[in-house]
Structure 1
């Protein structure tokens, strides 16, 4: 239940503009966002390992793995921007991370769509 609340809560609970001290809502936004963004690349890496063993999904295993690593790097950039970087360019890091995450989910969705179009033999 909590995992489904994280992205929603980080979108609804506002943060503070860069250069200002963080308020309570800013801290809540920060840590909920970190938790939500930490789960996706780990899940992507685990999923890519399992996809490489499935004949129908093997073609997307490498792109999912690469995009999961990009999301992980974006998360590291976001952590750096949030703490020692004093939130300078954190918005850019977040947007790049989100683009890579959406790309990873898009690759999986497109493959599922393509597989749904192929009639499967009756067993």
Structure 2
């Protein structure tokens, strides 16, 4: 296993089916797999896990879905610059941290950028 992912499609398929069978919102889950994109899938999965199960869930979620968490409600008040600024701050901080802490900061930046995409799509009227 590398970065939390098995690189064999058959193993990934079995794990995906097991995951789907164990989770309430199974119809909403999509496996991330494309030949040659294992490293990207690993980073995106770790960013997701950080938001859904790790620091993000512990500090920010308060039981709310991702699109209703403070990053979105604050952006509703002050605009997209908030979440983009948070992503920039995390990227800047990552440059001075030890490796593992820097990776965690960059995964957080990915989640803030995802929040920016959600904000943009929610507010797009055209």
TM-score range, shorter chain: 0.3 to 0.5
Query: Normalized against structure 1, the TM-score is what?
Result: 0.38
Query: Normalized against structure 2, the TM-score is what?
Result: 0.37
Larger radius of gyration: 1
